[in-house]
Amino acid sequence: MTELIVHAVDVEKRFGRLEVLKGVSLDVAKRETICIIGPSGSGKTTFIRCVNHLEKIDGGRIEVNGQLIGYRERNGKLVEDGERSIAKQRTQIGMVFQRFNLFPHKTALENVVEAPVHVLGVPKQQAADEAQELLRRVGLLGKRDTYPGKLSGGQQQRVAIARALAMKPALMLFDEPTSALDPEVIGEVLEVMEELAHEGMTMIVVTHEMGFARVAADRVVMMDDGRIIEEGTPEQLFDAPEHARTKQFLSKIL
Amino acid sequence: MLAAFDWHILWDRIFRPDSAFASALFATIYIAVISQVLGVILGLLAALMRMSRLRVLQLLSGLYVWVFRGTPVIVQIFFVYLGVNLLFGVTLIPNSLNLGAFTLGGAAFAGILALGFNEGAYMREIIRAGIDSVDKGQLEAARSLGMRHGLAMRRIVLPQAARVIVPPLGNEFNNMLKTTSLLFFIGVMELWGNAEIGYSETFKPVEYFAAVALWYLLLTTIWTVIQSWIERRLAVSERDDSEVTLGERLRSAFSPAYRGRA
């Protein structure tokens, strides 16, 4: 049996009265790339935010690398974990945001070095060397001393990917990483992500980029109204969707 | 009319200050600086308390601001100087405070506390607005990298908030330089006290008060230049571009938006 990195069971999430996730179960094996697609409001972003506990869950459970995320079990009940252990769990889960969220007061290199040095305690020189290697991998070594404000959206997102990778995570989460980008720079970001997928990084990608899903995803998951309604290989899902809702969604965006 | 004006006194007060004047000038500066630093620390604490999840801390912070912004600073000064020891039944305000080479009078100590606490109430709002101005995504990004709240605040949020906090903070300090004059009422010998005594000995109000006004003007002007330099520095670190010329610095120094406060 392959090693599971993510094991999510019946995850529920409510915002007030609004049920956003109505029991989502998803397993992700090591080295697997999963793309989550679906209409806006279907809960895809909320789901991956639950995976690193940026959102608390109201039901079910999520395990990453065999560890319960955000909660600990006490007498068969789930109790929210302390800040310290939640922070520690997050160190092994990288996240890339739609709006990059680079630290504007720090250069590209400083952005990448920040967490390894101040969270993991990696010596500065070592962290800087590793950060430069990561920047080289995303094709931005030449911009190491540039502040985010002077970088294009595509460049910022590539730095953000390097920043997340610097923590050497077991899992990478991408929350619509290209939705805020100009069309002409989407390609450069997807290229980096594709390469990551091929190198065997375990990834969950919320995306509308069907071309990317086709070439990089091992499985595509279709969400609608807080549930996973269909999943399969990209070929199955894109070429022969079973669910009417999937067909309808795909016909709108393809 | 100007015939009655003794230029000689004005000239001496500005260009040939005596030692009593020098120590008064020094008192004004150190009281303003320490009070402002205290105010920033208290304001930061109160702002963090205000944003805490603990209801008690939120209420305490609210109570603090409510009281200190809602009462005159002169009342607070007298209350701290004369009332605190009696109220608490212990000597919180000593007659004098021996700090090695330097002895701080009890009145100056009380005055610094009062001005600092008063300032903290205003700084809380300024600091909170600064923190609020930082995009929420910054904290999320920091947390997703495994930072705990305190570290994320210190390394990511507060440095960005500083850009928003510094301009009004500078204006607060400008106010503080002038507000120190109120401490003469509890007997602190600072710039205004020195002028007032000079006047009472000579009955030359125009000369003495004009001279002291010029000194305050000099202090606030110097500060304005320093402030605009700091603001430029903060802006440059983000914009990552060339130096700002001295001319630009001076021009901007004389056109900040002042926020008046009685």
Nearest to A87 among B137, B146, B239 (CB): B146
**Which residues of chain B lie closer than 8 angstroms to A91, CB-CB?**
145-146
The answer to whether the beta carbons of residues A108 and A135 sit under 8 Å apart is yes
Residue B183: phi and psi, rounded to 5, are -70, -15
Neighbouring residues of A195: CB distance < 8 A, sequence distance ≥ 6: A137
For the ranges A171-185, B114-128, B229-243, the lowest mean pLDDT is seen at B229-243
* Alpha helix segments (H runs only) across A102-141: 108-115, 124-137
Nearest to A31 by CA among A4, A62, A67: A4
CA-based nearest distance B140→chain A, Å? 7
A93–B159 CB contact, under 8 Å: no
CA distance A48 to B43: 37
CA-based nearest distance A90→chain B, Å? 5
Per-residue pLDDT, averaged over A154-171, amounts to: 97
The per-residue pLDDT for range A237-246, each reduced to its tens digit, is: 999 999 999 9
The answer to whether the beta carbons of residues A193 and A21 sit under 8 Å apart is no
Instruction: Tell me which amino acid residue B170 is.
Output: G
**What's the pLDDT at B255?**
54
Nearest to B155 among A118, A149, A150 (CB): A118
Neighbouring residues of A162: CB distance < 8 A, sequence distance ≥ 6: A108, A112, A131, A134, A135, A137, A138, A140
Q: Which of residues 132-171 of A touch B (CB under 8 A)?
A: 146-147, 149-150, 160, 163-164, 167
Per-residue pLDDT, averaged over B111-120, amounts to: 97
Show the tokens assigned to B153. 């605040």
CA-based nearest distance B146→chain A, Å? 4
CA distance A177 to A190: 9
Nearest to A115 among B147, B159, B238 (CB): B147
Mean pLDDT is highest, among B16-30, B123-137, B192-206, for B123-137
**Which residues of chain A lie closer than 8 angstroms to B137, CB-CB?**
97, 99, 101
- Cα torsion B119, B125, B129, B131: sign: positive
Give residue A2's Cα distance to chain centre.
Answer: 21
CA-based nearest distance A243→chain B, Å? 34
- Cα torsion B46, B50, B56, B60: sign: positive
The answer, yes or no, to whether residue A10 has pLDDT greater than 70, is yes
Nearest to A32 by CA among A237, A236, A196, A206: A196
The string of DSSP letters for A146-176 reads --GGGS-HHHHHHHHHHHHHTT--SEEEEES
The answer, yes or no, to whether residue B82 has pLDDT greater than 50, is yes
CA distance B141 to A111: 11
The per-residue pLDDT for range A53-71, each reduced to its tens digit, is: 999 999 999 999 999 999 9
pLDDT-derived band at B244 (thresholds 50, 70, 90) equals very low
**Which residues of chain A lie closer than 8 angstroms to B237, CB-CB?**
105
Per the rule left: phi > 0, alpha: psi between -120 and 50, beta: everything else, A168 is left
Give residue B220's Cα distance to chain centre.
Answer: 12
**Which residues of chain B lie closer than 8 angstroms to A103, CB-CB?**
138, 141-142, 156, 160
Instruction: Tell me which amino acid residue B172 is.
Output: E
Neighbouring residues of A174: CB distance < 8 A, sequence distance ≥ 6: A48, A95, A96, A193, A203, A204, A205, A206, A207
User: Which among B143, B145, B160, B241 is the top mutation candidate for probing chain A, defined by the most A β-carbons within 10 Å of its own β-carbon?
Assistant: B145
Residue A222: phi and psi, rounded to 5, are -100, 125
CA distance B35 to B37: 5
The per-residue pLDDT for range B32-72, each reduced to its tens digit, is: 999 999 999 999 999 999 988 899 999 999 999 999 999 99
ipTM reported for the complex surpasses 0.95 = no
Which residues, listed in sequence order, are joined to residue A34 by a DSSP beta bridge? A204, A219
Whole-number average pLDDT of chain A: 94
Other residues' Cβ atoms within 10 Å of the Cβ of residue B245 = 9
Q: Does the beta carbon of B141 lie under 8 angstroms from any beta carbon of chain A? A: yes
The per-residue pLDDT for range A148-159, each reduced to its tens digit, is: 999 999 999 999
pLDDT-derived band at B237 (thresholds 50, 70, 90) equals low
Whole-number average pLDDT of chain B: 87
The string of DSSP letters for B122-178 reads HHHHHHHHHHHHS-HHHHHHHHHTT--HHHHIIIIIHHHHHHHHHHHHHHHHHHHHH
Show the tokens assigned to A210. 């069907």
| Long-range CB contacts for residues B153-160, cutoff 8 Å, separation at least 24 | B153/B48, B155/A114, B155/A118, B156/A103, B156/A114, B157/B131, B158/B131, B159/A105, B160/A103, B160/A104, B160/A105, B160/B133, B160/B134
Nearest to A43 by CA among A221, A199, A242: A221
Neighbouring residues of B226: CB distance < 8 A, sequence distance ≥ 6: none
**What's the pLDDT at B104?**
84
**What's the pLDDT at B127?**
96
The answer to whether the beta carbons of residues A147 and B240 sit under 8 Å apart is yes
B151–A102 CB contact, under 8 Å: no
The answer to whether the beta carbons of residues A157 and A96 sit under 8 Å apart is yes
Show the tokens assigned to A53. 């506990």
The answer, yes or no, to whether residue B258 has pLDDT greater than 50, is no
CA-based nearest distance B165→chain A, Å? 15
Show the tokens assigned to A201. 């990084």
The per-residue pLDDT for range A29-40, each reduced to its tens digit, is: 999 999 999 998
Q: Does the beta carbon of A231 lie under 8 angstroms from any beta carbon of chain B? A: no
Could you tell me how many helices (H) and strands (E) chain A has, helices first?
9, 12
Q: Does the beta carbon of B148 lie under 8 angstroms from any beta carbon of chain A? A: yes
The per-residue pLDDT for range B145-172, each reduced to its tens digit, is: 999 999 999 999 999 999 899 999 999 9
Helix axes A124-137, A153-165, angle to 10 degrees: 130
* Residue of chain B whose Cα is closest to the Cα of A115: B145
End-to-end alpha carbon distance in chain A: 35
